[in-house]
């Protein structure tokens, strides 16, 4: 397992079982002390919870539905991930992209943005900027997803973005031992779930976005206190812009710009393989049924029960 995920060499335990790339140390203090503005909007999530999808919606709501700008400026620039510099630091192509695009590191880049800032982080509650947790003024939107689909999605993402060399079964075992990047998705979710009624926090489930996106968009607009009176047509336009078939082809959000910087990767992967691992991959609820054997399902259910034993949180799995 250590070999599969390079844990020994490249990763550190950042507390409460949260595993992060070693380079996180270089920016952890900057993140802790990151200056928060009252009108900041933070999208927080464990990876693969539909954050890219929700981010695009939040950004459009906060930017008067400026579809043209959304199309031409890459999402990571409009709406950067605070710890991005640590995530791709051991891959030269991606690290260079961050350096070139962000003119330094991702935290400094976020710091230099003009208001209103839309920011994203996958960091767990205990690693968030102190001021964000203390002042309860900036808006936080947390999105979560049923852990079975999430782990299937994260497995494919790690193959794509981190050149992980690991079978799905081994990845599940790593997850059950809280040894995947960012740690346990459920431990990540719980502190946000417990604070879901705090006035600056909105808690959203991926499965609810799939079920009724217009309702979620209206909830987000209310939470962001946007001035524009949203018409049904506005909602339809947003839903159309962010629908899966469009998002997967939209190079402003589908990460191709970053992933395909690696020429070797670009030449070695064929389109069939790429379709299996691509960043905006399948976009459905219940894909876990194509990957979970009954043995995996049994141990995963036990793990979920154990992780959620002190909570009334539930998920939809189909």
Residue 81 found at the interface with ligand A3P (CB under 6 A): no
Q: Which is nearer to ligand A3P, 230 or 277 (CB)?
A: 277
**Candidate list 24, 42, 53, 125; residue touching ligand A3P; CB under 6 A:** 53
**Candidate list 19, 21, 42, 50; residue touching ligand A3P; CB under 6 A:** 50
Q: Which is nearer to ligand A3P, 30 or 82 (CB)?
A: 82
**Candidate list 194, 234, 287, 316; residue touching ligand A3P; CB under 6 A:** 287
Residue 185 found at the interface with ligand A3P (CB under 6 A): no
Residue 52 found at the interface with ligand A3P (CB under 6 A): yes
CB 123 within 8 A of CB 82: yes
Cα–Cα dist 174/17, whole Å: 12
Cα–Cα dist 56/307, whole Å: 31
Cα–Cα dist 92/109, whole Å: 19
Residue 205 found at the interface with ligand A3P (CB under 6 A): no
Q: Under the phi-then-psi rule, with left for phi > 0, alpha for psi from -120 to 50, and beta for the rest, what region is 103?
A: left
Cα–Cα dist 317/211, whole Å: 12
Binding mask 135-154 for ligand A3P (x = CB under 6 A): --------------x---x-
CB 49 within 8 A of CB 150: yes
Cα–Cα dist 213/244, whole Å: 12
What number of chain residues touch ligand A3P (CB under 6 A)? 20
Residue 64 makes CB contacts below 8 A (sequence gap 6+) with: 228
Cα–Cα dist 169/48, whole Å: 19
DSSP element (H, E) containing 19: strand 19-21
CB 53 within 8 A of CB 242: yes
Minimum gap (Å) between residue 219 Cβ and ligand A3P: 17
Residue 281 found at the interface with ligand A3P (CB under 6 A): yes
**Candidate list 30, 49, 105, 146; residue touching ligand A3P; CB under 6 A:** 49
Residue 283 found at the interface with ligand A3P (CB under 6 A): yes
**Candidate list 128, 161, 242, 308; residue touching ligand A3P; CB under 6 A:** 242
Backbone angles phi, psi at 42, to 5 degrees: -105, 125
Minimum gap (Å) between residue 309 Cβ and ligand A3P: 26
Q: Which residue is nearest to ligand A3P (CB)?
A: 283
Look up tokens 């990763």; give the residue.
11
Minimum gap (Å) between residue 204 Cβ and ligand A3P: 12
Choose the stretch contacting ligand A3P; rule: CB under 6 A; options: 44-52, 87-95, 168-176, 297-305: 44-52
Q: Which is nearer to ligand A3P, 51 or 105 (CB)?
A: 51
Q: Under the phi-then-psi rule, with left for phi > 0, alpha for psi from -120 to 50, and beta for the rest, what region is 48?
A: left
Binding site for ligand A3P (CB under 6 A): 45, 47-53, 149, 153, 156, 242-244, 247, 280-283, 287
């Amino acid at each position: 397992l250590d070999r599969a995920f390079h844990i020994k060499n490249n990763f550190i335990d950042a507390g409460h079982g949260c595993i992060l790339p070693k380079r996180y140390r270089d920016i952890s203090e900057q993140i802790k002390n990151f200056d928060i503005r009252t009108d900041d909007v933070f999208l927080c999530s464990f990876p693969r919870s539909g954050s890219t999808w929700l981010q695009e919606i939040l950004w459009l709501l906060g930017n008067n539905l400026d579809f043209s700008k959304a199309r031409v400026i890459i999402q990571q620039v409009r709406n950067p991930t605070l710890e991005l510099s640590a995530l791709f630091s051991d891959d030269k192509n991606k690290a260079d992209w961050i350096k070139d695009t962000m003119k330094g590191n991702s935290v400094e880049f976020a710091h230099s943005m003009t208001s209103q800032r839309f920011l994203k982080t996958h960091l767990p509650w205990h690693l968030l900027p102190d001021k964000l947790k203390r002042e309860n003024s900036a808006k936080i939107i947390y999105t979560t997803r049923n852990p079975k689909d999430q782990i299937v999605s994260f497995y494919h993402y790690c193959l794509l973005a981190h050149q992980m060399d690991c079978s799905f079964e081994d990845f599940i075992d790593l997850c059950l031992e809280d040894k995947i990047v960012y740690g346990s998705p459920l431990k990540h979710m719980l502190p946000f779930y417990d604070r879901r009624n705090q006035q600056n926090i909105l808690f959203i489930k991926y499965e609810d976005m799939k079920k009724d996106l217009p309702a979620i968009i209206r909830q987000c607009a209310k939470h962001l206190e946007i001035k524009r009176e949203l018409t049904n047509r506005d909602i339809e336009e947003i839903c159309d812009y962010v629908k899966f078939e469009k998002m997967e082809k939209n190079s402003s959000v589908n990460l191709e710009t970053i992933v395909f910087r690696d020429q070797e990767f670009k030449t070695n992967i064929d389109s069939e393989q790429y379709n299996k691992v691509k960043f905006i991959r399948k976009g459905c609820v219940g894909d876990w049924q194509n990957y979970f054997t009954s043995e995996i399902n049994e141990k995963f259910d036990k793990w979920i029960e154990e992780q959620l034993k002190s909570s009334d949180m539930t998920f939809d799995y189909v």
